Structure 1
Amino acid sequence: MRALFLCHNHPGLQPGGTEVFAHGLFRALRDQHGVEGMFLAAVTGAHRERRPGTLLQGIGTATDEALVWLGHFDRFGLAQPDTYGLASLAPVIEAMQPDIVHIHHLLQFGVETVDLIRRAAPRARLIFTAHDFFPLCAQEGQLLTTDGRLCRGPSLDRCQACFPGRSGADFVMRELQMRDVLGEFDRILTPSEFARGRYLAAGYPARQVQVMPNGIAAMPPAPHRPAPDGRRDRFGFFGHLNRFKGGMVLLDASRRLSAEGIAHGVTLHGGTAWQSEGFLAGFSAALEAAPAARHHGLYQGAALPGLMAQVDWVVVPSIWWENAPLVIQEAFLHRRPVICGGIGGMAEMVRDGVDGLHAPVGDSAGLARVLRQAIETEGLWDRLAANIRPPLSLEAAAQRHHDLYRDTLGARAA
């Protein structure tokens, strides 16, 4: 079996959840199931300087991974007008003639790439994993309004409220194009039931959209932090710091706890790249106002066990629905209860009062109450930690994907 993977970045340059899983899945399929192929990661000058005269560049010593330089991407229409860059992919795809093309994001590659693949490899079966809601939502694919309200799904009035400068025709044409492009795929995968429900509510056919959970690479769990007095009051945040991930909400919750005289510690691990000056100024001010909080910056995956060993709880204070956050899988792998919003993919992964706690979304006072409950409720941490189920392994996820690929190819043969 030959498989071509396309992702909007490479985890070596941007270690986001989608990039980490897509890359890990590609390697697991190669190593466990003998799947041959190529992992193509789209990048721009913001991620790595382009070498003159090159559009594709290898990654280290890997012969089956490459970066593809693409520019001028239109995030509203998920369009890639860089026809010269896209044309460089055609010979690669034609020579490879993949059986399966698995696209993990339309960002950077754009909808035009799907048509290019259809022409270059007409017999390939196409798989798309919807790691977020970009095909449904032009507002950064998060079903979150510009003023921070949760959105159930696209409608002309709601979409125009987020983009007052856009005409109604723009949204109609965008929706029609997304339906046309995604209609080319044999399967649309979502990592959560919640995400599948959003695509079905938007009118995508149930036979095409199915849940396929992400997996995580196995590793020995980090030891629990010694707590002779039984007090579990160390909270960790892991992930990119932006307004969607809720780091500011956590900082204000920590400030409130300190003002109430509640001893605790909050550590934030993650970078702040590509954030506006306004956000960075607000983050610095919020950090200064929270004496029990510390920001330790960007971290590498290899450092995660050591960082987990220093915390009792993992907090996921995202203000949008989320889909299937990798950080929750990481927390459960290391046997840390999770405190998160009781919505979307977070609520689906974390069972309130069983292996974690749900907190009000975007409400720092509500989050502070839950953090205080976590600290002061005797025996709570031990009970929740004991109930944690191991997350799906990357190996198991690879097996499920391999079975899906075979099933899809079998449907073609039939």
Structure 2
Amino acid sequence: MRILVVAALYPPDSRGGAENSAANLTRWLARQGHEMAVLTTAGSRAEELHGVEIDGIRIWRLRTAHLYPARNAPVAPRWKKPIWHLQDHMDPRNPGLVAKVIEAFRPDFVNVHFVQGIGYNALAEIASAGVPALFLLHDLGLACMRMSMFRDGANCARQCLGCRLSSRYKAALIARFKRIGFCSPSRANLATLSALFPIDRYPHTSIPNPNLYDRPDLPRPASDLVRLLYVGRLHRSKGVELLLEAAEGLAATHRFQLTIVGGGAEAARLKDRYPPSTWLRFAGHVPEAAVSGYMRDADLLCVPSLWQENWPGVAVRALELGLPVLGSRIGGLPELIDPGQTGDLVPAGDRAAWIAALRRVLENPMELARWQRNAEAMRGRFDQDRLGERMLAFMATIAGSSAAATEARED
């Protein structure tokens, strides 16, 4: 099967786990013998690629008409964002880029990961081609232009007017497809979107991302202090400052080390407020391949998210490496963590609860060791081949193969 992947960001252009998940599924499908192509964005005309084969996958990396490329969104001036989103919805040049790639590649199927940054109106071009499509729900983008339903440090109680109008427009574009389905890695994300967008009209399911993670070559080294780890963007929605506040409150009475891996909009401010000390170090942004090494040298991963995390790949990766997780009770995290067995869950944004949870961990090393043994015993829960086969079966269901229907049911 010839499968076109639409992803506005695609490695090496990547801001997080969702882009890596898009690449993982694409590479897995290529290894199963499918002919794969990717349509993604370029930062400039000089970076463009037109169907160049890289590692067996044809890449179209194109500069869109947008005011700034998708990868610059986190640092773009606020006044440019409304113009950018208007272009993303309505610029008549967007469908033309997709039309050229469809004509050149002639796909049998399309996987849409991120169309924001290529242009939502480009969906009309895919629909008019009559090609069946799988829309992978990595976030809340169909309901929210920020893709997170998180604004000014808090989760949105409802859609704002702009997001409601945008969502209706996107629903009208989706309605043009003859064959389309939706897949979310978490049931929580699927439920949230279903309340705001007419997903229930189409085939839909929940299948964890079929990712493949590097494993460290060496076992976890012993340590006489508890090693806490955070991996991810330094952004208000991630709750990093809450974690730092909680850890700082325990640093005078407990021995531990907290390592913060990642960069982002909050990096400079957090480093100024929390200078390096015996209990804290900032590692900055590290290559994807280096993350497993940091996890090997840690005893507990902390995921203090404030927004409705869909399916944080960092938590999946940790559990697959036998590293327990202390996470917020929000979004898809409760589907990953077995409280008291492979980690624990804490009310999102509750500073006192995070202090109490960290104190329990620091004062009960035997409990933490039990979590580690349980996590190690559950390795393979997110096996890439098994999850990839489920994804492929659901794609067959969308394309019209009833034989795969029973395999594609939601868990």
How does the TM-score come out when normalised to structure 1?
0.84
Q: Do the aligned residues in 2 keep the contact of 1:131 with 1:190 (CA within 8 Å)? A: yes
Deviation at 1:68? 2.0
Tell me, in whole angstroms, the C-alpha distance in 2 between the residues paired with 1:55 and 1:80. 24
Deviation at 1:15? 4.9
Equivalenced residues, count: 381
Tell me, in whole angstroms, the C-alpha distance in 2 between the residues paired with 1:131 and 1:287. 32
Once the two structures are superposed, residues 51-71 of structure 1 have per-residue CA deviations (whole angstroms, 9 ceiling, x without a partner) of 18x574747565512312122
Q: Any residues of structure 2 matched to 1:100-179 within 5 Å, and which? A: 100-119=109-128, 121-122=129-130, 124-138=131-145, 140-146=146-152, 148-151=153-156, 153-154=158-159, 159=160, 168=161, 170-179=162-171
Q: Do the aligned residues in 2 keep the contact of 1:256 with 1:365 (CA within 8 Å)? A: no
Q: Do the aligned residues in 2 keep the contact of 1:153 with 1:202 (CA within 8 Å)? A: no
Partner of 1:199: 193
Q: Structure 1 125/284 Cα, relative in aligned 2: closer, same or farther at 3 Å?
A: same
Deviation at 1:112? 1.1
Give the counterpart of 1:212 among 182, 207, 216.
207
SS of 2:274 mapped into structure 1:
helix
Tell me, in whole angstroms, the C-alpha distance in 2 between the residues paired with 1:57 and 1:96. 8
Partner of 2:395: 405
Q: Tell me, yes or no, if structure 1 residue 268 matches structure 2 residue 260.
A: yes
Q: Do the aligned residues in 1 keep the contact of 2:49 with 2:60 (CA within 8 Å)? A: no
Partner of 1:68: 62
Tell me, in whole angstroms, the C-alpha distance in 1 between the residues paired with 2:293 and 2:276. 27
Q: Which amino acid aligns with 1:382?
A: A
Deviation at 1:177? 0.6
Tell me, in whole angstroms, the C-alpha distance in 2 between the residues paired with 1:35 and 1:78. 33
Deviation at 1:210? 1.6
Partner of 1:318: 305
Tell me, in whole angstroms, the C-alpha distance in 2 between the residues paired with 1:202 and 1:151. 12
Deviation at 1:91? 2.5
Once the two structures are superposed, residues 176-196 of structure 1 have per-residue CA deviations (whole angstroms, 9 ceiling, x without a partner) of 212212333610111111011
Partner of 1:96: 105
Q: Structure 1 203/307 Cα, relative in aligned 2: closer, same or farther at 3 Å?
A: closer
Deviation at 1:395? 2.1
Tell me, in whole angstroms, the C-alpha distance in 2 between the residues paired with 1:225 and 1:394. 27
Once the two structures are superposed, residues 296-332 of structure 1 have per-residue CA deviations (whole angstroms, 9 ceiling, x without a partner) of 1111122122211211001111111100000011101
Deviation at 1:40? 1.8
Q: Structure 1 270/327 Cα, relative in aligned 2: closer, same or farther at 3 Å?
A: same
Partner of 2:76: none
Deviation at 1:379? 1.6
Q: Do the aligned residues in 1 keep the contact of 2:36 with 2:57 (CA within 8 Å)? A: no
Deviation at 1:172? 4.6
Q: Which amino acid aligns with 2:310?
A: N
Partner of 1:358: 345
Q: Structure 1 334/61 Cα, relative in aligned 2: closer, same or farther at 3 Å?
A: closer
Q: Tell me, yes or no, if structure 1 residue 236 matches structure 2 residue 229.
A: yes
Q: Do the aligned residues in 1 keep the contact of 2:50 with 2:61 (CA within 8 Å)? A: yes
| Unpaired segments ≥5 residues, structure 1 | 160-167
Partner of 1:308: 295
Tell me, in whole angstroms, the C-alpha distance in 1 between the residues paired with 2:149 and 2:89. 22
SS of 1:344 mapped into structure 2:
coil
Partner of 1:258: 251
Deviation at 1:216? 2.2
Partner of 1:6: 6
Q: Which amino acid aligns with 1:111?
A: Y
Q: Do the aligned residues in 1 keep the contact of 2:10 with 2:22 (CA within 8 Å)? A: no
SS of 1:265 mapped into structure 2:
strand
Deviation at 1:396? 2.1
SS of 1:320 mapped into structure 2:
coil
Q: Tell me, yes or no, if structure 1 residue 225 matches structure 2 residue 221.
A: yes
| Unpaired segments ≥5 residues, structure 2 | 69-82, 404-411
Deviation at 1:408? 2.0
Partner of 1:333: 320
Once the two structures are superposed, residues 353-395 of structure 1 have per-residue CA deviations (whole angstroms, 9 ceiling, x without a partner) of 1211112322333322211111112421122122222341222
Q: Percent identity?
A: 26
Q: Do the aligned residues in 2 keep the contact of 1:315 with 1:338 (CA within 8 Å)? A: yes
Q: Higher helix share goes to which structure?
A: 2
Tell me, in whole angstroms, the C-alpha distance in 2 between the residues paired with 1:310 and 1:392. 22
Tell me, in whole angstroms, the C-alpha distance in 2 between the residues paired with 1:219 and 1:410. 35
Give the counterpart of 1:182 among 174, 177, 183.
174
How does the TM-score come out when normalised to structure 2?
0.84
Partner of 1:163: none
The worse-fitting range, judged by mean Cα deviation, of 233-242 and 202-211 is 202-211
SS of 2:39 mapped into structure 1:
strand
Partner of 1:165: none
Q: Which amino acid aligns with 1:328?
A: A
RMSD value, Cα: 2.6
Q: Do the aligned residues in 1 keep the contact of 2:329 with 2:347 (CA within 8 Å)? A: yes
Once the two structures are superposed, residues 244-293 of structure 1 have per-residue CA deviations (whole angstroms, 9 ceiling, x without a partner) of 1122222222211113x211101011122xx2xxx444212232286511
Tell me, in whole angstroms, the C-alpha distance in 1 between the residues paired with 2:359 and 2:138. 33
Once the two structures are superposed, residues 23-61 of structure 1 have per-residue CA deviations (whole angstroms, 9 ceiling, x without a partner) of 1111111112x1112012224x3xxx4318x57474756
Q: Structure 1 36/287 Cα, relative in aligned 2: closer, same or farther at 3 Å?
A: same
Once the two structures are superposed, residues 108-131 of structure 1 have per-residue CA deviations (whole angstroms, 9 ceiling, x without a partner) of 012111112223x22x10110111
Q: Do the aligned residues in 2 keep the contact of 1:323 with 1:345 (CA within 8 Å)? A: yes
Tell me, in whole angstroms, the C-alpha distance in 2 between the residues paired with 1:79 and 1:203. 19
Partner of 2:409: none
Q: Do the aligned residues in 2 keep the contact of 1:237 with 1:316 (CA within 8 Å)? A: yes
